[in-house]
C-alpha cells in the first residue's frame, strides 16, 4: 500500500518556509509527523508559521538565516543538526524575482536574483549534502525551481537564468552524490495563486496572458506543488534522482 507514512519521524529542513509555497510544504510535512525546521530572513513571519507548525507537531522550530550569506548557511545547518539530530530532507524553496525588461536589469538586480535562487541553492545543498555524507544518511534534496527554467518569458531574464541553472545544478548534484544514496530532484511550478501573488494578477492583461498558456485553464495552488514535494521525499521516489517534475498545468507541453 502506497502512503506517506514513511515521512513520519523524518527530519526536514525547509529553506524559505515561512510564507506561500514553503509554508504549505512545511505544514504538510508536520501533518505527516515529520520534524520540521523552517528558515528565512523575517523573524516575525518565521515565528508565526513555527507556532502553526507546533500545533501539528511539537518537534518543529525556526531559524533565522539569509542564504545569500555563507556564514548564515553554515550556522543554519549546524543549528538544525543540533535541534533535530540529523537532516533527512532539504527543501530549497527560497527564491526572488525582480521583474524588469532585460535592457533595464542592473548588475545589482542580477546579483540579487542569482545570489538567492542559484548561489543560495547550491551552498545550502553543499552544506546539507556534506552533513548527509558524513552521517551516511540516504537523504533527499528537493529544489523548487520554475517552469521558466524551460521557457522564456518577458521581464524574467535574470529569473529564467537562475532557475535554468538550478535545474542543471539538480542534475549535477544527483550524479555526483548518487553513490552516497542522496537523491536530488526538483519541482517546477507555474504561477501559483497565493496572497503574495494576488496583486500581480490584478493586471488583467498579464492574467489573461498567463491563463492563455495553461491548457488546464487555472492557476496552480500551493498544495499542487506540495504533493510533488511529498512524493519526492517519500520512499515512493527512492529510484528517482536528477529529475524535475513540472507542475505547470501543461504550459511546457505546448
How many domains would you assign to the chain? 1
Nearest in space to 224 (alpha carbons), one of 178, 177, 192: 192
CATH number at residue 79: 3.40.50.720
Q: Per the domain annotation, does 240 fall within a domain? A: yes
89-113 burial string, b = 16+ CB within 10 Å, else e? bbbbbbbebbebeeeebeeeebebb
Please report the pLDDT score of residue 240 as a whole number: 98
Mean pLDDT along residues 98-111 = 97
Is 4 in a helix, a strand, or coil? coil
Q: Per the domain annotation, does 45 fall within a domain? A: yes
Please report the pLDDT score of residue 122 as a whole number: 98
User: Is 1's pLDDT higher than 70?
Assistant: no
Report the alpha-carbon distance of residue 14 to residue 32 in Å, rounded.
15
Q: Per the domain annotation, does 253 fall within a domain? A: no
Cα 110 to Cα 57, 59, 83, 117, 189: the distances in Å are: 39, 38, 35, 11, 22
Cα 194 to Cα 20, 23, 38: the distances in Å are: 6, 11, 19
Q: Per the domain annotation, does 143 fall within a domain? A: yes
| Cell of residue 98, nine digits | 525582480
Domain assignment of residue 114, given as a range: 5-247
- Encode pLDDT of 22-56 as tens digits: 999 999 999 999 999 999 999 999 999 999 999 99
Based on the residue annotation, tell me whether 2 is a catalytic residue of this protein.
no
Q: Per the domain annotation, does 155 fall within a domain? A: yes
The share of the chain scoring above pLDDT 70, in percent, equals 99
Report the alpha-carbon distance of residue 92 to residue 179 in Å, rounded.
22
Contact call for residues 191 and 219 (beta carbons, < 8 A)? yes
Looking at 2, 153, 159, 207, which residue is catalytic?
159
Helices (H), 149-216: 157-176, 204-212
Contact call for residues 165 and 116 (beta carbons, < 8 A)? no
Q: What is the mean pLDDT of the chain?
A: 96
Q: Per the domain annotation, does 184 fall within a domain? A: yes
Amino acid at each position: 500500500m502506497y502512503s506517506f507514512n514513511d515521512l513520519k519521524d523524518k527530519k526536514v529542513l525547509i529553506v524559505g518556509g515561512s510564507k506561500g509555497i514553503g509554508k504549505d510544504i512545511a505544514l504538510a510535512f508536520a501533518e505527516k509527523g515529520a520534524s520540521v525546521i523552517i528558515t528565512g530572513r523575517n523573524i516575525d513571519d518565521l515565528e508565526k508559521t513555527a507556532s502553526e507548525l507546533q500545533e501539528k507537531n511539537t518537534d518543529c522550530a525556526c531559524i533565522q538565516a539569509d542564504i545569500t550569506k555563507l556564514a548564515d548557511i553554515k550556522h543554519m545547518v549546524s543549528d538544525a543538526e543540533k535541534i533535530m539530530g540529523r537532516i533527512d530532507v532539504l527543501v530549497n524553496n527560497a527564491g526572488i524575482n525582480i521583474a524588469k525588461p532585460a535592457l533595464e536589469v542592473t548588475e545589482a538586480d542580477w546579483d540579487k536574483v542569482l545570489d538567492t535562487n542559484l548561489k543560495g541553492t547550491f551552498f545550502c545543498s553543499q552544506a546539507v549534502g556534506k552533513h548527509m555524507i558524513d552521517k551516511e544518511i540516504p537523504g533527499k534534496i528537493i529544489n523548487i525551481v520554475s517552469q521558466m527554467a524551460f521557457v522564456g518569458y518577458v521581464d524574467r531574464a535574470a529569473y529564467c537564468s537562475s532557475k535554468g541553472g538550478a535545474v542543471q545544478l539538480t542534475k549535477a548534484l544527483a550524479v555526483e552524490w548518487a553513490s552516497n544514496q542522496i537523491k536530488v530532484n526538483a519541482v517546477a511550478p507555474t504561477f501559483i495563486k497565493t496572497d503574495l501573488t494576488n496583486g500581480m494578477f490584478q493586471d488583467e492583461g498579464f492574467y489573461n496572458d498567463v491563463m492563455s498558456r495553461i491548457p488546464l485553464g487555472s492557476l496552480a495552488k500551493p498544495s499542487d506543488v506540495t504533493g510533488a514535494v511529498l512524493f519526492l521525499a517519500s520512499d515512493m521516489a527512492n529510484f528517482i534522482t536528477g529529475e524535475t517534475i513540472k507542475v505547470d498545468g501543461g504550459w511546457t507541453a505546448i
